[in-house]
Amino acid sequence: MKLNVVPAKTGSLWVRQGIRAFWKQPLALSGLFFMFMASMSVLSMVPLLGGVLALMLLPAASLGLMAATREVDLGKFPMPVILASGFRAGKEGTRHMLVLGALYACGFIGVMGLSALIDGGDFAKLYLMGGSLDMDTLTKPEFQDAMWLSLLLYMPLSMVFWHAPALTHWHAVPVVKSLFFSTVACLSNWRAFLVFGLMWSAIFLGTTLGITLISGLIGDNEFAAMALLPAMLMLAAMFFCSTYYSFKDCFTSEVIYA
């Protein structure tokens, strides 16, 4: 396995490749992403440990979406079972996914815990348990500080786990090394990831503004409410597709594990 350092413009290529891959199999990839979201939601409803179990599933689920994109990239049709790719690579692969999931859950809970020190846990409760967000809570300086701190702390956590599931699955890299290599890859290619993040932010924001503008022009407020959710879900599916190409370009190997 070899780490590649790519130019900044490659970040925009990952975005385009992800969008293109999605539209090759829009129904299949939308369905898989919905299954991914539904699984997370169902797990979150389990009393006491539901939220933790959902967090533990995230690395394996994100790998499943990357594997589905790889199937599309190879001209194949991704079947639903591909979402469980991380748990179908033998006992060693399953153990790796469980360990990664446990570490990710601990890291994420740690981020929320630190944010709770600022606002008493309001942001963490909203994020982990859901609920309605009123304007009074949103405008509280403590709540906003907790939100921005969580975002700031989540960025390094995301770098650590960005490539780790794929490295353990396709390159048989041990868990600790996969976390290290993922971090190094993201830092070495920070320019490309910056472009990647800015482009996706612009796409999400532009889509939201576009739908809101159309809703205002036609005088139908319900249109925005009806159109935003499916649009955001489709864009999120495209985003996960694009993560496969970021991994593909950051690492090369003569052997790719199935």
The string of DSSP codes covering 101-136 is HHHHHHHHHHHHHHHHHHHTTHHHHHHHH-----HH
User: Domain for residue 87, yes or no?
Assistant: yes
Q: Residue 150: name the closest of 140, 142, 161, 139 by CA.
A: 142
Q: For the residues 47-66, what does the mean pLDDT come to?
A: 88
Q: According to DSSP H, which parts of the chain are helical? A: 10-24, 26-44, 50-73, 90-119, 122-129, 135-138, 141-162, 164-170, 175-188, 190-218, 221-250
Contact 83, 65 (CB under 8 A): yes
239 lies in a domain? yes
96 vs 164: CA distance, rounded Å: 10
Q: What is the pTM of this model?
A: 0.88
Confidence of residue 134 (pLDDT cuts 50, 70, 90): low
> pLDDT, tens digit, for every residue of 171-208?
999 999 999 999 999 999 999 999 999 999 999 999 99
Decide if pLDDT at 256 tops 60: no
The total number of structural domains in the chain stands at 1
The three-state (H, E, C) secondary structure of 175-198, written as one string: HHHHHHHHHHHHHHCHHHHHHHHH
**Which residue carries 């990239």 as its tokens?**
73
Residue 133 resides in a domain? yes
Instruction: Tell which residue, 117, 176, 114, has the closest CA to residue 150.
Output: 114
Domain containing residue 126: 12-251
Residue 192 lies in a domain: yes
Rounded Cα–Cα distance for residues 164 and 180 (Å) = 8
Residue 6 lies in a domain: no
Distance CA 151, CA 166 (A): 24
Evaluate whether residue 81 is within a structural domain.
yes
Phi, psi of 251 (to 5 degrees): -135, 140
Cβ(72)–Cβ(246) under 8 Å?
Answer: no
Report which of residues 75 and 129 the model is more confident about.
75
3-state secondary structure of 86: helix
Using alpha carbons, list the distances in angstroms from residue 224 to 38, 134, 137, 204. 23, 20, 24, 14
Q: For the chain, give the mean pLDDT.
A: 89
pLDDT value of residue 215: 82
What is the arithmetic mean of pLDDT over 137-164?
88
Asked if residue 197 belongs to a domain, the reply is yes
Number of other residues whose CB lies within 10 A of the CB of residue 103 = 19
* 258 is a domain residue: no
Q: In the predicted model, is pLDDT for residue 160 greater than 80?
A: yes
